[in-house]
Structure 1
Amino acid sequence: MDKIVEKLKSGELIPFLGMGIFEGTIAKDGSSLPYDSDSMILALNNGRAMSQRLMYEYSRAAMSLEQRKGREFIIQMTNHIFSSKEYEIPKTYKWLSEIKPKYIIDTTLDDSLQKIYSDCDHFLILGVSRITADYDRFMIYKYDSSKAEYTRVEKESLSLDLPILFKPMGSTKPEMNFIISDADFVDWLTEAMGGYAIPPVLKEYRKDKEYLFMGVDFARDTFRMVANEITIGLKGGVTLLNKEELTKKEEKFIKTHSLENIKVSIDEFIDSHGK
């Protein structure tokens, strides 16, 4: 796949980010930020491993913690993981900050994406779950760079005139909200399958687009389903999975979605595709 940067700038190729982009990110206090399911579970549970059944996927572990300690605990703990420490934004964001794609999907939970777009007006879409007032599983904000503030807007206000940042699993800012436990994902995915997780403008825009998957773990059932719902209508793209051997589920997802896996690390990929 050639002309990566040009395609990102034109909108032909859409970045899709997963928590793997945080691998190797060290906070100023010396601790590592979660970059996969196992490290996320340890972070949520104060560094302690959980039972093998719960260690399968962090959404399962988060559900167990929520049942024992309450919904507010899991929200506050997730926020603490990403908001209580100072850390340099990962290399992926620095690279994208120079390109400024028109539309970007980011399933991480911190606010690094918002930071790299803070110098320009944009729309931000945050996923929500387990609400009863509406079927839609998203909230839309418009960012005014002159005031450095977000304002909630209705979905009819969303347009392609400004960059669109889509964080389907929520974020620490501008409002602390996360899709993290099994109950969250079940609700979000159920409504996503009904067409309520993505604004109409993006449903039209995403047709026949290619995707660049960076740091997304397709070995995990949940994120394969999330990616599948968000990228309906895609015409292929690229995954970066630097593994000796892919799992059968990864291979099937890649084949089904006409993707090409490039077996290099994210850093190596960025270094070879400078702006």
Structure 2
Amino acid sequence: MNTVLTPDGLLVVRNNDAERWLDLLKKAIAADEIIPYLGPGLLQLNCAEPPVPNTPEVVAAALNARTPAPSKIRTNMWSVAQFIEQRRHRRTLQTWLAEIFAPPVAPTILHDWLAKLPLSLIVDSWYDATMRAALVETRRTDVVEIQGVSRATEMGNIWTKTYGLTGKELGARPQARTVLYTPHGSIRPAANFLVSDSDYVEVLTEIDIQTPIPEVVKERRTARGFFFVGCRFNDQMLRIFARQLMKRSKGPHFAVVDAETLTKTERRFLSASATTVIDMPVGEAAAYLVG
């Protein structure tokens, strides 16, 4: 069957039905009716081994190569980052992350396609700045980026910073046709990273009442759903952020993912959020959308 409602309540579409949904999603994205939510899985579209890490586990390994963390936390990026912050200082963690994510990543065909569309909102959930690079290449002047920032490096009640595509920091509520929202931070233009457990303590305390989420993001999600591509939700931190961004959005929601590889936790999350799974390789789906 091409469309299956699984016993755990997950709606999965495959083959011809998946292609039909992608046709509809292509039109919906172009019409600014749904919000692209991009993940690090997109980094493998251009090369099998991206120049920067494309999973939290790879980031953890890169940090462990610089200073070994205890074995029980060694594969957990957030805990390894916390260990380094406590033992070696925040500046050391910041410097190492900037080194790890320094290599530029060429935008994929999907990034390039999205960059040319006058979308209200794009969410990029990774640190690599590839979506930003694609937007810079268009030379558009109607785009701003809002990044999550660590309160460990800031004074006052600051959750985010806003930048133009030139890298200049802007005021809190600039006028822009397209907002690129990077809730976990980004390597460019200022190497902002939410990455350690302590970075998220205050954010997670407040996120249920939506305080850390910028007002413009809240406004622009209201009448739209989310389209997850290149994303996985096998960690609680990633699920919490996605869930809170989806909160009070109209929907519907879709995710391109290999259904057979989903964990039980991911299946529960996608089912509970009424997210339809498009069971297709990410590269194939990207080519279909752009073609």
**Alignment map for 1:170-181 (pairs within 5 Å):** 170-181=185-196
**Does 116-125 or 243-252 show the bigger shift?**
243-252
Match of 2:12 in 1: none
Q: 1:87 to 1:164 in 2, by over 3 A?
A: closer
Q: 1:103 to 1:4 in 2, by over 3 A?
A: same
Match of 1:36 in 2: 55
Instruction: Work out which of the residue numbers 198, 216, 238 in structure 2 matches 1:201.
Output: 216
Please tell me whether residue 109 in structure 1 is matched to residue 131 in structure 2.
no
Match of 2:269 in 1: 253
Match of 1:218 in 2: 233
Match of 1:241 in 2: 257
Contact 1:14 1:105 in 2 (8 A): yes
Task: Give the whole-Å Cα distance in 2 for the aligned partners of 1:44 and 1:90.
Answer: 26
Query: CA-to-partner distance for each residue in 1:194-237, whole Å, 9 max, x for gaps?
Result: 32222223212211411111122211111000111122123231
Question: How far off is 1:101 after superposition?
Answer: 2.9
Match of 1:166 in 2: 181
- What SS does the aligned partner of 1:273 have? helix
- More relative contact order, 1 or 2 (CA 8 Å, 6+ apart): 2
Contact 1:236 1:257 in 2 (8 A): no
Match of 2:199 in 1: 184
Contact 1:25 1:32 in 2 (8 A): no
Q: 1:9 to 1:89 in 2, by over 3 A?
A: same
- The count of corresponding residues between Structure 1 and Structure 2 is 265
**Alignment map for 1:71-110 (pairs within 5 Å):** 71-83=90-102, 85-99=103-117, 101-110=119-128
Task: Give the whole-Å Cα distance in 2 for the aligned partners of 1:49 and 1:216.
Answer: 28
Query: CA-to-partner distance for each residue in 1:53-101, whole Å, 9 max, x for gaps?
Result: 2145311111112222111111111111121x34433444234234453
Task: Give the whole-Å Cα distance in 2 for the aligned partners of 1:112 and 1:254.
Answer: 26
Instruction: Work out which of the residue numbers 62, 65, 69 in structure 1 matches 2:88.
Output: 69
- What SS does the aligned partner of 1:126 have? strand
Cα RMSD over matched residues? 2.5
Task: Give the whole-Å Cα distance in 2 for the aligned partners of 1:24 and 1:54.
Answer: 30
Match of 1:229 in 2: 244
The gaps in structure 1 that reach 5 residues or longer are: none
Report percent identity of matched pairs.
Answer: 24
Q: 1:165 to 1:206 in 2, by over 3 A?
A: same
Q: 1:149 to 1:225 in 2, by over 3 A?
A: closer
Q: Which amino acid aligns with 2:149?
A: V
